[in-house]
Every structure is written in structure tokens, then in C-alpha cells.
Amino acid sequence: MTIKTDGAAVVKRAATSADTDDTATQPVRITRLQRELAQRVAQDIAAGVFELDSHLSEKALSDRYEVSRTPVRGALRLLAESGLARCKPNSGYYVARRAVIDDTEGSPDGTPWTSDDLYRRVIADRSQRLVEDSFTDTDLLHRYGVPRSTLMKTLLRMASEGVLEKRQGHGWRFPASLADDDVRRESYRFRITIECAGLQEPDFTVDPRAFQDMRERHAALLADMLRPIDTDEFFALNATFHEMLARCSGNRFILQAVQQQNQLRQLDAHPASYPVAAMERYVREHLDILEAMEAGDREWAVAVMRRHLKATQWAA
């Protein structure tokens, strides 16, 4: 699905390009998050959420889509290049044109959406409560404009991973939400059981390269704690950390359980819910677990993991 104005495809951009709101010519890197965010803003413009000539405030967009201002700035540059927004010096960006949804094309860069693209988008939209608890195939076909074959492949995958449930007779629904206190407590009791068991699996094997990569990425956060932490980035790192340990356990069922829990957390516990003040503690606990497993002290690693999950169950 592509957003168009006056018949011209927009929200299309090469991997690098120059800023349009200043005189700089230094190429900038456009990330997937910036492209997806630009597409979401364009969809909201098409839906009338943002009126013509209304101010696209960085702070308002950051709050609405629960992302930091950095990807918002990139998305606004893309919208300006597409003609949907215009930049006023010393004032910011404003809606310049009404967007029109064109369902003949797919992703923000004009290439058809893959099942993986759609999977990530549905997860992101659900975390924003832009997708209802229950819905039909037709609802999502209208929303995303993808081929039915791509949609069905995505829905079946989500159902197989426990992210979705097939309703009897007609449609789909998301399972019990982790936003519910009782469900959340059950989830964390399950995670404590599964993830601590994974650390004690007889076939657990430390992957030196994966452990070193995790250590370096966590250490980089500690080295620059004064810098505002991108909570989307931290959520992804946190999920990767727990999944990496599950993979090292050598138990495929533990890995599948952790992957499923990560998907459920992404649906209902948006990364922006992480309290920045507590992130340093989370990072240090992760490092303690890595150190204990490398030293062969599984008992201590399990103790830290149990404490870590108990402490973060209301914030992660």
C-alpha cells in the first residue's frame, strides 16, 4: 500500500538523500522505523486525523505514536519530500495535501509488502490499539491493502505463534491482553518458570560470539547513560537478550515459549512503557546473568533472572 497525492506515489525515498529543511547536502540514512512512521502519519492524514494546514508537532507525533523524536524528524522529512507536508522556517512542518490510499502497491518505498512486513505492522498497530480486539479478514484488507494471500499467510503465522486466535465461524481475535493485571502476573510467573529452567538445561551452551555481542551492546548503553535512551531500541535489545539465552538452552520448546511471550509483550506492553530511570538496573542485571553463565555459576544466574523478572513485571 502506497500513499499518493494527485496521482503521484509518495513516501518513496532512496536509502540515502539530503535533508530538505536546511541547506545541508550531507546524505542521511533513512531507517525502516522512519519509513513506517511516515506511512502511518500519511494514513492518518488520509483519514482526516490531521487537517489541512495543521501543525505536525514533533512532540505531538512522538507522544501519539510512542516513539522518540529522532524517527519523527526523519518521517517528517519523507512527508515533505512526498508533498504531504511542508516545512516553514523556524516553525516546523504542516500538512500540505490530503493523502489518498493506493492499494495497488505495498510498502512505503513502493515495493509490495511481504508477510514479514505485514506481521511487523499489525504488531505495531496493535500496540497502539489501532487494531481492535476482534476483526475480520476484510477489516485488515481494507486497512492495509495487501493481497489476500499475503494477509492469510500472516494471520496463519500469528495464529500458530499464539499471537492470534481464530474465532468460531468468522474472524480473528487477540488473546487475553497483558494489559490485564491478572494475565500479566500469569505471564511473568510463566516466564520465570520457563526462562530459569532454560538456564539449567543440560544442553545449555554458551555462544561466545552472541554473548560478546550482547555484552558490547549493553555496555554501550551504560557508557552513555546521560543520552536519552530510545525505548524502542531497548525493547528490541531486551527481547533479543532473553531469546538468545533461550536459544542457547538447546531446548526448542523453551525457545518457542520465549518467542511467543516476546510477541505478546510487544502487542500489549509498548516499549515506551519502560521507565528510563530503571533501565540502568535492567542492563546491569542482564550483564550479571551473562557473567554468571560464562563462569558456570548457573545457580546465581537463575537467582538473578528470577529477581530480574519479578522486578520488571510491572514495567517491561
**149 and 186: one domain?**
no
Bridge partners (DSSP) of residue 17 are 28
Does a structural domain hold residue 249? yes
Are residues 188 and 153 located together in one domain of the fold? no
Contact 96, 83 (CB under 8 A): yes
Same domain membership, residue 209 and residue 295:
yes
Boundary (domain end) residue, out of 173, 194, 215: 173
Could you tell me the CA-to-CA distances from 124 to 85, 111, 162 in Å, in that order? 23, 20, 16
Residue 185: which domain range? 181-312
Q: How many domains does the chain have?
A: 3
Query: Pairing state of beta strands 2-5 and 100-102?
Result: antiparallel
SS3 of residue 261 by DSSP: helix
Give 125-128's long-range contacts (Cβ < 8 A, gap of 24+). 125/40, 126/174, 126/267, 126/268, 127/66, 127/266, 127/267, 127/268, 127/270, 128/65, 128/66, 128/270
- Same domain, yes or no, for 197 and 307? yes
List of E strands, the chain: 2-5, 8-9, 16-17, 28-29, 55-56, 85-88, 92-95, 100-102, 134-135, 165-166, 172-173
**What is the domain-level CATH number for residue 158?**
1.10.10.10
C-alpha cell at 59: 512532540
> In this structure, is residue 214 part of a structural domain?
yes
DSSP 167: P
Q: Which pLDDT score is estimated for 210?
A: 93
What's the pLDDT at 179?
A: 62
Q: Is residue 108 part of a domain?
A: no
* CA angle centred on 197, ends 192 and 199, rounded to 5°: 105
Q: Is 284 found in the same domain as 191?
A: yes
- pLDDT value of residue 20: 40
Tell me: do 126 and 247 sit in the same domain: no
163 has which bridge partners?
none
C-alpha closest to that of 58 among 17, 94, 22: 94
CA distance 305 to 309: 6
Domain co-membership, 208 together with 276? yes
Residue at which a domain ends, from 67, 102, 137: 102
Question: Would 192 be classed as within a structural domain?
Answer: yes
- pTM of the predicted protein model: 0.53
Last residue of a domain, one of 142, 173, 204: 173
Per-residue pLDDT of the chain (316 residues), as tens digits, is 444 433 334 444 333 333 344 434 344 456 777 877 887 888 777 767 788 888 999 888 888 887 888 889 888 988 888 788 899 888 899 998 765 544 434 444 456 778 888 888 887 788 777 888 888 888 888 888 888 888 888 888 888 777 788 887 678 888 766 666 777 788 889 999 999 999 999 999 999 999 999 999 898 888 876 665 666 667 778 889 999 999 999 999 999 899 888 877 777 654 444 555 677 888 899 999 999 999 999 999 999 999 999 887 755 4
Please state, in angstroms and rounded to a whole number, the distance separating the CA atoms of residues 311 and 280. 13
Asked whether residue 110 is assigned to any structural domain, the reply reads: no
- Position 72 in a domain: yes
Buried (b) or exposed (e) across 57-70, using 16+ Cβ within 10 A?
Answer: ebeebbebbebbeb
Q: Is 162 helix (H, G, I), strand (E, B) or coil?
A: coil
